[in-house]
Chain A
Amino acid sequence: MSEVKFSKEHEWIKLEGDIATIGITKHATEMLGDIVFVELPEKGSNVEKDGTAGVVESTKAASDVYTPVTGEILETNQTIVDDPSKINEDPESAAWFFKLKMKNISEMDTLMNKDEYDKFAKESGN
């Protein structure tokens, strides 16, 4: 069974075995507005929990994308690079950003579940 968690930086993470798929939440896309550019980490690179792992740009501003967990990048989603508007259309499924092999699965425990995240997103208002 896969497990989905959320970070305070508005990323979602879905874990299957030790492979995590990561993207940004619908709430994040609503804050950003129309996304027109995305930059993803390089395949084979290592990213560290809470470190930057890409950039999304809307017409208004550029925002860093963080990785909620540590690991090695296995795959990135070229579809959203070719057509960034897909991120606004289906952020929490088809428009995933990257897949990584987790180094330390216990990092999942530091993240929020859906209810906790929804409450956090509503309260933070940003």
Chain B
Amino acid sequence: MEIKQTSLINLHKSNGAKLVEFAGYSMPIQYSDGILNEHKFTRSNCGIFDVSHMGQLFIYGEENLTNDLEKIFPVDLQNLEIDQSKYSFLMNENGGIYDDLIITKIKKGYLIILNAACKENDFKIIKEKLNDGYKLELKDNLSLIALQGPEAKDVLNKVVPNIKNLKFMHGGEFSFNDTSVYITRSGYTGEDGFEISISNEKAENFTKELLKNGSKLIGLGARDTLRLEAGLCLYGNDIDADTTPIEANLKWAISKKRIDGTYPGSKIIKKQIESGVKKLRVGIKPESKVIARANTKIFNEENKEIGKITSGTFGPSVDHPISMGYVDSKFASLNTKIFLEIRGKKVSGNICKLPFYKKNYVKEI
């Protein structure tokens, strides 16, 4: 299959990107500054992330669309305001996660941002579950650019005026060079930031404007260390079709009003909320500087295997290795001592609080 490119491919190349294939796209893993510098720059200034490989699914319809989407997603859409966003899941009948996503109510329907590797399958599933009366469009004529970091609001405001009043997890239509762009205040780094949906034709010029105003391009490598420090899940690693949102410690994303609702997996979700789960996603820090990566086995003090790591790296801003994984819920409480099997040796570590790095989101203006 042909590897796809985003509309920023030339900009990636001219900024010294190391390109890798990711979810069928040629994407920058890092630029010439390297992952550590890119990570730190995002935390201290602001970074630009090309996330155009992600799916932008628009569903248009009348009143009943909200009801029908509530039969698919465990989120309270009735009380969602126009231009408000929520984190949610597409689940199977067992409550396993097909994808995690952001759903935003827009004037004529909903916009759902999907993971790149899942988007085609998500589209099929959602289309099958909705009746023919709705128009579904997985847009490939739109790019998606994220701008993340403490300086994001000032930099973006120079390029797109009036974005500063946007509230966290809210969006709105704005104008760039006489084109309409849709911007939400959200992200995947633990920093304040924005995601900008813009036509492919304008994406490169828009990104150049951000660069001129002091931001830098950041690759997928730093995106991964940033999101892991922020305690955020990577689909395919930390959550998948065999884990439920409750096991993933994402119960907060199941709307209280929807616990008795009907959607795929709803019975299992309700049962797990009421009577608990066997395994739970936790944060883990090894005591030494060694990194516990995905698939590292976790043992308790009696040398019994109790789980495994799903993501692990070095956290540049916490200056220590960090991991997430699933453990038997009996061993999930904070500060529980555990052992990690790394290259044949058992290394001690502790269950610790998520996020590893404290969030800087702007809640209210």
Show the binding face of A for B, using Cβ within 8 Å.
33-34, 36-37, 39, 55, 57-62, 85, 88
A37 neighbours in B (Cβ, 8 Å): 289-291, 314, 321
Known: A33-B221, A37-B321. A59 touches B314 (CB 8 A): yes
State how many residues of chain B have any CB contact under 8 Å with chain A.
19
When chains A and B are docked, how far (Å) is the Cα of A27 from the Cα of B39? Answer: 23
When chains A and B are docked, how far (Å) is the Cα of A35 from the Cα of B265? Answer: 43
A91 CB to closest chain B CB (Å) equals: 14
- Majority-rule SS of B interface residues: mixed
B85 within 8 A of A: no
B344 CB to closest chain A CB (Å) equals: 11
Known: A33-B34, A33-B35, A37-B314. A60 touches B291 (CB 8 A): no
B291 adjacent to A62 (CB under 8 Å): yes
B221 neighbours in A (Cβ, 8 Å): 33, 59-60
* A-contact 0/1 string along B33-48, CB 8 Å cutoff: 0111101000000000
A59 CB to closest chain B CB (Å) equals: 5
When chains A and B are docked, how far (Å) is the Cα of A124 from the Cα of B39? Answer: 30
6 nearest interchain CB pairs? A36-B314, A34-B36, A59-B35, A34-B34, A57-B291, A34-B35
Q: List 30 A-B contacts (CB under 8 A).
A: A33-B30, A33-B34, A33-B35, A33-B221, A34-B34, A34-B35, A34-B37, A36-B36, A36-B291, A36-B314, A36-B316, A36-B321, A37-B289, A37-B290, A55-B343, A57-B290, A57-B291, A59-B35, A59-B221, A59-B224, A59-B313, A59-B314, A60-B29, A60-B35, A60-B221, A61-B293, A62-B293, A62-B343, A85-B36, A88-B34
* A-contact 0/1 string along B17-57, CB 8 Å cutoff: 00000000000011000111101000000000000000000
B186 within 8 A of A: no
B293 neighbours in A (Cβ, 8 Å): 61-62
When chains A and B are docked, how far (Å) is the Cα of A32 from the Cα of B353? Answer: 30
A88 neighbours in B (Cβ, 8 Å): 34
Show the binding face of B for A, using Cβ within 8 Å.
29-30, 34-37, 39, 221, 224-225, 289-291, 293, 313-314, 316, 321, 343
Which one of A34, A59, A60 has the greatest number of beta carbons of chain B within 10 Å?
Answer: A59
When chains A and B are docked, how far (Å) is the Cα of A23 from the Cα of B34? Answer: 21
A34 CB to closest chain B CB (Å) equals: 4
B294 CB to closest chain A CB (Å) equals: 11
Query: Which chain A residue has the least Cβ–Cβ distance from B20?
Result: A60
B104 CB to closest chain A CB (Å) equals: 32
B225 neighbours in A (Cβ, 8 Å): 59
B32 CB to closest chain A CB (Å) equals: 11
Which one of A33, A85, A88 has the greatest number of beta carbons of chain B within 10 Å?
Answer: A33
B29 neighbours in A (Cβ, 8 Å): 60
Known: A33-B30, A37-B314. A59 touches B290 (CB 8 A): no
When chains A and B are docked, how far (Å) is the Cα of A116 from the Cα of B224? Answer: 37
When chains A and B are docked, how far (Å) is the Cα of A81 from the Cα of B89? Answer: 42
Q: A36-B321, A59-B39, A62-B343 are in contact. List 4 more A-B contacts (CB 8 A).
A: A37-B290, A37-B291, A57-B291, A88-B34
A86 CB to closest chain B CB (Å) equals: 13
B37 neighbours in A (Cβ, 8 Å): 34
A121 CB to closest chain B CB (Å) equals: 16
B222 CB to closest chain A CB (Å) equals: 8
B289 neighbours in A (Cβ, 8 Å): 37
When chains A and B are docked, how far (Å) is the Cα of A58 from the Cα of B293? Answer: 11
